[in-house]
Amino acid sequence: MSIRTSTFSHSESFKQIPPTIIVIFGASGDLTARKLAPAIFNLSKDELLPSECFLIGYGRKKISDSQFRDYLKMSLDAHSRRDIRPETWSRLVQNISFHAGEYDDLESFKNLSSKITEIEKTLSKEVQCLFYVSTPPGVFKPILENLGASGLAKRHRRKEIESKVIIEKPFGRDLMSAKELNNIVNHRFEETQVFRIDHYLGKETVQSLLVQRFANSIFEPIWNRNYVSCVQITVSENLGVGSRGGYYDRSGALRDMMQNHVMQLLALTAMEPPSSLNPEAIRNEKVKALQAIKPLVLGGKSSEIVRGVYTQGLVEDEKAKGYLQEVGIPSNSTTETFAALCLQIENWRWKGVPFYLRSGKRLARKASEIIVQFKRPPEILFGLDSKYSLSPNLLVIRIQPNEGITLYLNSKSPGLETRLQPIELAFGYETTFGSNTPEAYERLILDSLNGDGTLFIRGDEAETSWGILSPVLDYWDGLGVLGLEKYASGTWGPLEADKLLLARGHEWLTGKKYQ
């Protein structure tokens, strides 16, 4: 068994990848067109994939190789961050094919296996397979079972080139279904072969969070209950559900965003320093931080949860319809498009520091931010007199857009009178490093081919996160429409979300205090 080092050590990440076959299940779907095909081709353009790299699309539609190739070409023209030159395309296109088959038909998987063996024979080399499960979650189970039954899961087991499987979100829809899915996965694959994807972990700024925390000595000593007053994580979108109403209405903000993306940001912010950059060392610490979260108070005066649904309003000066008027949404839907939580992490570092999380659609603007709000200095010299208006120090980590970090400090504004004013020490990714950084899916596909699970969710991590949120889902299910607060599109969500913080002496900072 090879020793796996983390994605943070670049020499390892960019090692030579052996001949590879990437099989995408759900190949004619939206994700393949918008994200997966562009990521694979940009990796190829950067020569990070081997020249012997094959792409097999697997899907139920009976389409020919050439139809699939045309579809991919169109997708790339529409979505790739860089142009694909004709000569690059003509080199790649020969290695693209389509395999039509049902997901619950073992024969189709056996045929796929024969196709893979054929490729190996032609190359006279052993090939590693990456199976990308990018279908609706309803067919995850038969695909995983048939990968097992056809022997594809076991190809070259325990060698560097053992089969790998990427599983798209959602990984389950509650704790029980996540456990069931983990059972199916664990019967067919070793955990080292499994890559549960959360594309937020592939974002450049999210990867950088660990570096900021642990490659700088000034943050760690103050990253705890003695100095931090609260942590706020906002992942807001100004878009509505668009054409995804059918999927979204069965999901909602808690399942779609909170359980995965937002909880991952929390885990990275709250975790203890890992003992090494080994993927397991990092993921162990994330799991420990999640395990330390106290069960949420669901009802009554000290309730720690808020949910809402958007009504019509103005988003960036454009009229937006309400959720219930969106295509595919039943008029009696009780699905939340906004959720806010106040979590308490019961460990030595964080006891007493609220972690406020919120995520929603049709909010005022798109923003993913982590804000660490520090305690006020003692009001002895400044702060007693209102003219000094002492603001708390803030560390704002902007994941997107306008990626960067800003530290807010109090300073004296120029003049003969002493007046305090918050000032910004700001770092912007684009200003410092330029634009056109790789997309999250590029990083994640490359890491999975390298067998590096650092930026993926381990089975126990998914279950721990569901363990915190499943009771909330059950509670809301029982309430029906009761407590589902309305908010106008283009605002920052329901008033109750503001009250959640006000009751604890805080206020949301993203979108309010500063822009």
Residues contributing to the site for ligand BG6 (CB under 6 A): 237, 256
Strand-pair partners of 373: 230, 394
The CB-of-271 to ligand BG6 minimum distance in angstroms stands at: 22
The CB-of-35 to ligand BG6 minimum distance in angstroms stands at: 10
Q: Distance (Å, rounded) from C-alpha 257 to C-alpha 312? A: 22
Q: Distance (Å, rounded) from C-alpha 486 to C-alpha 329? A: 16
Q: Distance (Å, rounded) from C-alpha 63 to C-alpha 464? A: 41
Peptide bond into 137 cis (omega under 30): no
Question: 237 vs 403, which CB is nearer to ligand BG6?
Answer: 237
Contacts with 337 (C-beta within 8 Å, 6 or more apart), sequence order: 240, 241, 248, 252, 253, 308, 309, 310, 323, 360, 361, 362
Burial class for 102, CB neighbours closer than 10 Å (0-12, 13-18, 19+):
middle
- Using Cβ positions, the residue closest to ligand BG6 within the complex turns out to be 256
**Pairing verdict, β 305-311 and 484-488:** parallel
Q: For 313-349, give the DSSP string.
A: EEETTEEE--GGGSTT--TT----SEEEEEEEB-STT
The CB-of-337 to ligand BG6 minimum distance in angstroms stands at: 10
Instruction: Find the DSSP H helices in 196-241.
Output: 204-214
Residue 353 CA, distance from chain mean position:
24
Question: 19 vs 252, which CB is nearer to ligand BG6?
Answer: 252
The CB-of-258 to ligand BG6 minimum distance in angstroms stands at: 11
Q: Distance (Å, rounded) from C-alpha 226 to C-alpha 240? A: 40
Q: Is 261 in the active site?
A: yes
Q: Distance (Å, rounded) from C-alpha 454 to C-alpha 192? A: 11
Residue 17 CA, distance from chain mean position:
25
Long-range contacts, 116-123 (Cβ 8 Å, 24+) = 116/21, 116/56, 116/152, 116/155, 119/21, 119/54, 123/19, 123/52
- Cα-based angle 106, 112, 114 (whole degrees, multiple of 5): 110
**Residue among 99, 199, 261, 506 flagged as catalytic:** 261
Instruction: Find the DSSP H helices in 153-234.
Output: 175-188, 204-214
Question: 20 vs 368, which CB is nearer to ligand BG6?
Answer: 368
Element (H, E) at 99: strand 96-100
Contacts with 115 (C-beta within 8 Å, 6 or more apart), sequence order: 56, 97, 99
Question: 156 vs 321, which CB is nearer to ligand BG6?
Answer: 321
Question: 129 vs 440, which CB is nearer to ligand BG6?
Answer: 440
Q: Which DSSP symbol is given to 139?
A: G
Contacts with 111 (C-beta within 8 Å, 6 or more apart), sequence order: 99, 101
Amino acid at 285: E
420, 466, 501 from 395: Cα distances, Å = 18, 29, 18
Question: 232 vs 260, which CB is nearer to ligand BG6?
Answer: 260
Amino acid at 343: L
Active site residues: 261
